[in-house]
Structure 1
Amino acid sequence: MRGTTSSLWRLARRARLPFQPPTHCNKNNTPLSIARPFHRNAFSSSPYPLPFRFFTGQRRSMFIEAQATPNPSSLMFYPGKPVMDVGSADFPNPRSAMNSPLAKSLFAIDGVTRVFFGSDFVTVTKSEDAAWEFLKPEVFAAIMDFYSSGQPLFLDSQSAAAMDTAIHQDDSETVAMIKELLETRVRPAVQDDGGDIVYRGFDPDTGIVKLKMQGACSGCPSSSVTLKSGIENMLMHYVPEVKGVEQELDAEEDGAALSGEMM
């Protein structure tokens, strides 16, 4: 009966209708509710919900906590389980998510535009016209379904994110210092905001370090400030060879930025 109630609730949420739990009557024809009450903040429009509990068919409970990020279009979801063992994974569009069952199921939710995997969290980014009030329950359900299914995070085990800041034997001393600073000083702070930063190269002739923002940090209004006022100043302070930092954009982001400049 619990599964029936959950299905009715999910259908009601997708139809944007108030959920009316089914009732049974006792021998005196007095209605008896058979629905388990949900947390009162589960459907709140606030981006700061309290932990949410789901009950699986195996009668096991799972807590999923949502947390706001500096980007109002992104939320971090903590399933209470490890997500990425090493590194991180960014999915800027549905095409890039075909190799991950979890990312693919999240993109199947109407309004989801980007997915990011961190060490113990999943960041979901929505479109401007989508409302978290309706998206959060569906994201909760998708994450719960994935972890109860026993599927791997990636269909191809080789798809795990490469360690971009790993220091190689052929790296110069300057590049090694840049990677070490990014890994120890920058990455932990950026991941706390539901995103990540990826090292994409250093040009010794110009002194420019190329970085790519991922997750909630991609498209965030404060990402350019973070790059210039935070990361650039720190790298220039510790590594004199660094003269500046540039952000590398996806093809979609580059096109959006170009159209914004033309307008």
Structure 2
Amino acid sequence: MKEYVITVVETNNPAILKFETNHFLTNGSNFEFKNIDDAKNSPLAQQLFYLPFIKTVYISGNFIALERFDIVDWPSVKDEVAQQLVEYLNAGEPIVNEQEDNKKVAVTIYAEITPNPAVMKFVANRKIVPAMFEFKNLDEAKGSDMAKKLFHLPYVKEVFMDENYVSITKYDVAGWDEITMELRELIRNFIADGNEVVSSEEVAVKSIATSNPNTENETLDDTSQEIIDILEEYVKPAVASDGGNILFQSYEKESKTVNVILQGACSGCPSSTYTLKNGIETMLKNMMGDKVSEVVALNG
């Protein structure tokens, strides 16, 4: 029988404490339980909720993370909790009953930093949306239940989705080290439960808007169309890898100025000016000669 040893590890959130073990507790799955009813498939989590100060239980890999209510401080109870965990695990009691629900979707989510310190990119191992969607606030998110859930978190400022990732812009009130796990688990659980990330109605509206691009582009001059083609082929893949997007807005023939809109992680990024001047602007000048003198960006 395995002998478990617990190591108590502090986190950047004073309300959350990690109890790391020397053996894995799950088969690669992550679990979050908000109350004792929510924990019906985890005897360990149910037992922990009998402690009146336990608010949330996370079980993942080789650790158990516990979030407490403010009625106690961790220094006064952490040793008691660690001892209880050691006794429970060494008794061979079940941790989580990991029977697969037929409705569950196999998905993993990992967090990836972007050049914008206010934006984190959460990448899935599968396609989650058929097109790009940007939500600036809760009102704009009416067609996405996932975005609405994210906006209910007080530190979420904007949500951007494309293909297999979600880019989240946060307010300065919280640091990424405090909130990344919660965001990652919210996104993973939402997808794993088989929910629509964006409603079919919203997707249909988006599809109609993008299915006939020629209608909008018919009035564009040849130079504008050439700029769009270059942005689509050479620039968009690069900014998408950073969790953002770029859209052509207009071309001013007299001043030879290209106006673009930055979205997702690119919007408001401190390094976006450098990227424009030393990346996009240089590329357009090299490829289009004296037709382009400057690129100006607006944050989407």
TM-score (norm 2): 0.64
Q: 1:2 aligns with which of 30, 41, 44?
A: 41
| Structure 1 residue runs without a partner (length 5+) | 37-53, 251-263
* Cα distance in structure 1, aligned partners of 2:291 and 2:212: 18
* Larger radius of gyration between Structure 1 and Structure 2: 2
Q: Tell me how far 1:57 sits from its aligned partner.
A: 5.3
Give the aligned partner of residue 124 of structure 2: 79
Give the equivalent residue in structure 1 for 2:273: 224
Alignment CA distance shift 1:218-1:152 (3 Å): closer
Counting aligned pairs with the same residue, the percent is: 27
> Partner residue of 1:114?
158
Name the CA shift for 1:118/1:220 in 2 (closer, same or farther; >3 Å). Answer: same
Deviation sequence 1:101-147 (CA, Å, 0-9, x none): 11111111221111111221111121222122331222123212322
Runs of 4+ in 1 over 4 A off after TM superposition: 14-26, 30-34, 54-61, 161-167
RMSD: 3.5
Q: Partners in 2 of 1:79 and 1:66 — Cα distance?
A: 9
Segment of structure 1 superposing worse, 179-188 or 72-81: 72-81
Aligned counterparts of 2:206 and 2:135: Cα–Cα separation in 1: 12
Residues 190 and 14 from structure 1, CA distance in 2 versus in 1: closer, same or farther, beyond 3 angstroms? Answer: farther
How far residue 193 of structure 1 moved from its aligned partner, in angstroms, is: 0.7
Q: Secondary structure at the match of 2:172?
A: coil
Per the TM alignment, residue 214 of structure 1 is displaced from its structure 2 partner at its CA by 0.9
Q: Distance in 2 between matches of 1:228 and 1:153?
A: 35
Query: Once the two structures are superposed, what CA deviation does each residue of 1:210-229 show, in whole Å capped at 9, x if it has no partner?
Result: 11111111111101111122
CA distance in 2, matches of 1:112, 1:230: 30
The verdict on how the C-alpha distance between 1:32 and 1:23 changes in structure 2, with shifts beyond 3 A counting, is farther
Check whether the contact 1:195–1:214 (CA below 8 A) recurs between aligned residues: yes
Secondary structure of the structure 2 residue equivalent to 1:156: helix
- Name 1:127's counterpart in structure 2: 171
* Residue 92 (structure 1) aligns with: 136
Q: Which residue of 2 aligns with 1:234?
A: 283
Contact 1:90 1:115 in 2 (8 A): yes
Aligned letter for 2:183?
V
The answer to whether the 8 A contact 2:260-2:298 is kept is yes
Task: Provide the residue aligned with 2:185 in structure 1.
Answer: 141
Note the alpha carbon deviations across 1:125-183, whole angstroms, 9 max, x for none. 21222122331222123212322143251343344375599553443211111001000
Change (3 A) 1:149 1:116: same
Deviation readout 1:23-81 (Å, 9 max, x if unpaired): 6978xxx7556445xxxxxxxxxxxxxxxxx9975576531111111112211111212
Relative to structure 1, the CA distance from residue 64 to residue 96 in structure 2 (aligned partners, 3 Å threshold; closer, same or farther) is same
Aligned partners of 2:169, 2:126: CA distance in 1, in Å? 20
2:273 and 2:92 mapped to 1: Cα distance?
56
Matched residues, number: 229
